[in-house]
Amino acid sequence: MSVTSGSLLKTLGLARFCVTCLRQQSYSVKQSHIKVSTPQLTWRVRNYGTGPSGVDGEGNDPDAKEPGGLVSLQFSKRAAQLKRRRPLSPLERVSRLLPEESLSQEVWELRETKPKEEEEQTQEGQIGQETLSVQTEFTSSPQDKIQRGEDKGKMFSHLHIEVEDMSEQPPYTLPGERPMCFGEVLFAQHRRKRQLLFQKMFQLKEGERLQSNWGVIAHEEIAGCPAGTVLRTSLGLPILVRRPSLEEFTLFMKRGPAIAYPKDASAMLMMMDVSEGDYVLESGSGSGAMTLFLSRAVGSNGRVLSVEVREDHHRRAVLNYQRWRSSWSLRRGGEWPDNVQFHCADLLSAKPLLSGKGFNSIALDMVNPHLVLPTVVPHLHPGGVCAVYQANVTQIIDLLEGLRCSTLPLACERIIEVQYRDWLLAPSLQKDGTFHTRKAINNSVDEEEKDELSEDEQEISSHRAFGSVPYIARPHPVQTSHTAFLVKLRKILK
């Protein structure tokens, strides 16, 4: 039958394509010992109209897909994962409007298989929680089937859809790295615009919170994080949480009397030349700052004898020492050396305590050190150093006057005051927060040439090159004031 171009266009306009599900087959996907059945579907395209079945008039449509061809996978993936009912096809919608006697046999078969399909999908929907590697294909012959259970490595890229296992991998940690845990002593800081606005040392405990004017952080959020993690408070501000150094621990620990500041303690250790295995005498435990530095310096093979005359100061020094040791064991997984012996006594009447002992060096932090020198100097090794920590220069005068009037084999070698000067060094900023730029003598790029630059060239020129940003450098406005004078006395045999 001859078909005019008008009738052909009319036939194509009235054509309705629908997708009919003829049969279902299941295949198993095996992963992590879980067997899940996923339907295999074969699709067929039917042509409805009064014209020829094909575009060429002979029933051959060059654009029609073979029965075993690969079609859109959106429905199968959605049905396999979400297990939802697919939308009605155009044929199903039209068939609901037509009388029942005018429906074809294929429509009746579709209506009969629909309840079975929904029941099977409900049963399979219970097995979809695990991560799957799904391989979907549509075939019409047994030769095209893929036996995934026999050979997992045999894949066809043009028929394969794989959902990788997205199980969380443990974060990479360096050797010896340990996350922060309950019981540790931690340090929190908040900086903004080159200023340190908040810093606090605290112990991590269950059920407690880190309180500050910049928000609250629950201790449970901190536990398990690596040291040096930036966390957000309840107000959204960043707080750096890390482990404190021994210097920071001595500065922020609970105190009774004033401590020997780290800058002075380090200078005293250099004066005394404390090394591994030494036996050191300390008079004046105080809050335990100098005791901790001496304990680390002598190591596990050395010993420190710390004597304090006041009982309340003695208890505070012992508590701070034990708190640092317990936090250190949680931090490093090993024990801090238990090499300090605390005694609550007066050195003026502590000759039985010192009898039979010899010390490599002596550290004195007392109001009147010249009064105890006759007691401690006989137990100092020849050539050893006695370092004295004094707050006032008048105390140093009394010390030297006591040495002049005595016959002790001591020589004053040095009197120093340790001063640290902090500096402020930062890039120069404009009021809008951008960097200043050094002004060159000869500017090769004029304003007219800048307008002609492309967007990419302007973006590159906005990045400040190395050496093009000026810096400000001046002493910091907040400086550490005077803390103490250090006197170095050496035992000499004449």
How far apart CA 51 and CA 28 sit, in angstroms, is 43
pLDDT digits (tens, 9 = 90+) for 294-318: 999 999 999 999 999 999 999 999 9
pLDDT digits (tens, 9 = 90+) for 88-140: 667 667 666 767 666 677 767 766 666 555 555 555 555 444 444 434 443 44
Burial 58-89 (b: 16+ CB within 10 A, else e): eeeeeeeeeeeeeeeeeebeebbeebeeeeeb
Choice between 490 and 447, residue whose per-residue pLDDT is larger: 490
The number of C-alpha atoms within 13 Å of 63 and in the hemisphere containing its C-beta is 6
Across the chain, mean pLDDT equals: 75
Read off the pTM: 0.61
In terms of phi and psi (left: phi > 0; alpha: psi -120 to 50; beta: otherwise), the region of 358 is beta
pLDDT (0 to 100) of residue 133: 41
Asked if 202 and 184 count as a contact pair (C-beta separation under 8 A), the reply is no
pLDDT (0 to 100) of residue 389: 96
How far apart CA 463 and CA 469 sit, in angstroms, is 10
pLDDT (0 to 100) of residue 114: 60
Return the percentage of the chain with pLDDT > 70, whole number: 61
pLDDT digits (tens, 9 = 90+) for 339-387: 999 999 999 888 899 999 999 999 999 999 999 999 999 999 999 999 9
pLDDT (0 to 100) of residue 151: 44
| Of 72-81, 319-328, 423-432, the least confident | 72-81
* Residues pairing with 108 in the sheet: none
In this structure, CATH architecture of domain 185-244: Roll (3.10)
In this structure, CATH architecture of domain 263-420+484-491: 3-Layer(aba) Sandwich (3.40)
According to DSSP, residue 435 is labeled B
Choice between 100 and 80, residue whose per-residue pLDDT is larger: 100
User: Quick one: average pLDDT of 258-278?
Assistant: 94
Domain boundaries of the chain, sorted by first residue: 5-159, 185-244, 263-420+484-491, 423-475
DSSP labels for 13-31?
Answer: HH-EEEE----EEEEEEEE
pLDDT digits (tens, 9 = 90+) for 309-342: 999 999 999 999 999 999 999 999 889 999 999 9
Chain center to CA of 467: 32
Residue 144 has pLDDT above 70, yes or no: no
User: Quick one: average pLDDT of 421-447?
Assistant: 74
Q: Which of 32-41, 53-62, 222-231, 349-358 has the highest mean pLDDT?
A: 222-231
What angle is formed at CA 254 by the lines to CA 424 and CA 231, rounded to 5 degrees?
A: 55
